[in-house]
Structure 1
Amino acid sequence: MRQIVIATTRDQLQQCLDVRREVFVNEQQVDESLEVDEFDQSPDACVHVLLLDSGRPVGAGRMRPYEEGAMKLQRIAVLRGQRGTGAGKAVVLALEEAARERGYTGTVLDAQCQAEAFYSKLGYVTVSPEPFLDAGIPHVRMKKRLQA
């Protein structure tokens, strides 16, 4: 059984970081100094979302205020064995709902190019003129207007 939790405790934040470490650091070889930043120091610095499956952490994401009316979705990660099961969609939709609840009308994200089609299916539109590197991985900037 899946459950989405807004991380409010250090333990929940650590579970988010553990999922991200597995995906970004171990699997994609991103340097940990680039993966964990100042927004990960406390549960209050960003809105962190944790996806649990039968109590086990399997997905995570975070967002922070970015520009007028928009939250920036970041660090969206799903463990390899959970991909293709709707876990990523659940994380993104939970972040969008949390943004709406906080009065935001849009979201922005920098998607790895290999995930661009996934975000497009969720209503995101690519706005960067060409891919750019982030942590050595090609990305594109995408935006979405949130429905009230």
Structure 2
Amino acid sequence: MFRIVRTKDELADAFSIRKEVFVEEQHIPIENELDQFEEICTHIIGYIDEQPFAVARIRAIDNQAKIERVAITKPYRKQGRGHTLMKYVETIASEQGYTAIVLNAQYSAKDFYHNLGYQVSGEIFLEEGIQHIRMSKQL
């Protein structure tokens, strides 16, 4: 279901999901969604019946894994797939040698991450006009 992106086609699928969720649904400008870190991140993609439906990326920051761009397309939400995606991402981060994860969660998703063991480690802030909160977890 989930795997590390290895091909240009898989990366295109990942970007397609991010455009659908962040650009089209949340109205984030495309030039802000796709950034200068794309080439240095580990991208994760999920497929069901060869259809891409989920994405996340891992970026190294201060010897921690920063989880970013977590998205699931609408038809696959509220089915536990986000939980499974995050567990996979955590496994990959651990395999890459990280012992801690940080992320900037959209505030509306704070409880989702809290239920996965993430703790609030900052104040609410705006990113792209959306409330976020920094959260972290030890692996």
Q: Taking structure 2 as the reference length, what is the TM-score of the superposition? A: 0.97
What corresponds to 2:21 in structure 1? 23
CA distance in 2 between counterparts of 1:38 and 1:8 reads 19
Q: What one-letter code is carried by the residue in structure 1 that aligns with 2:96?
A: R
What corresponds to 1:53 in structure 2? 48
Runs of 4+ displaced beyond 2 Å: none
Instruction: Please state how far the C-alpha of 1:54 moved relative to its aligned partner.
Output: 1.1
Instruction: Please state how far the C-alpha of 1:135 moved relative to its aligned partner.
Output: 1.0
Alignment of 1:90-129 (within 5 A): 90-128=84-122
Q: What one-letter code is carried by the residue in structure 1 that aligns with 2:116?
A: L
Instruction: Please state how far the C-alpha of 1:87 moved relative to its aligned partner.
Output: 1.6
Return 5+ residue gaps in structure 1 as ranges: none
What corresponds to 2:58 in structure 1? 63
Q: What one-letter code is carried by the residue in structure 1 that aligns with 2:113?
A: Y
What corresponds to 1:143 in structure 2? 136
Q: Taking structure 1 as the reference length, what is the TM-score of the superposition? A: 0.91
Identity %: 37
Is 2:27 the partner of 1:34? no
CA distance in 2 between counterparts of 1:135 and 1:87 reads 25
CA contact (8 A) 1:51 1:87 kept: no
SS of the aligned residue for 2:37 comes to helix
For residues 66-102 of structure 1, the C-alpha deviation after alignment (integer angstroms, 9 at most, x for no partner) is 123x100000000011111112112211111111101
Return 5+ residue gaps in structure 2 as ranges: none
Instruction: Please state how far the C-alpha of 1:49 moved relative to its aligned partner.
Output: 0.4
Q: What one-letter code is carried by the residue in structure 2 that aligns with 1:112?
A: Q
Please tell me the root mean square deviation across aligned C-alpha atoms, in Å.
0.9
Q: What one-letter code is carried by the residue in structure 2 that aligns with 1:19?
A: I
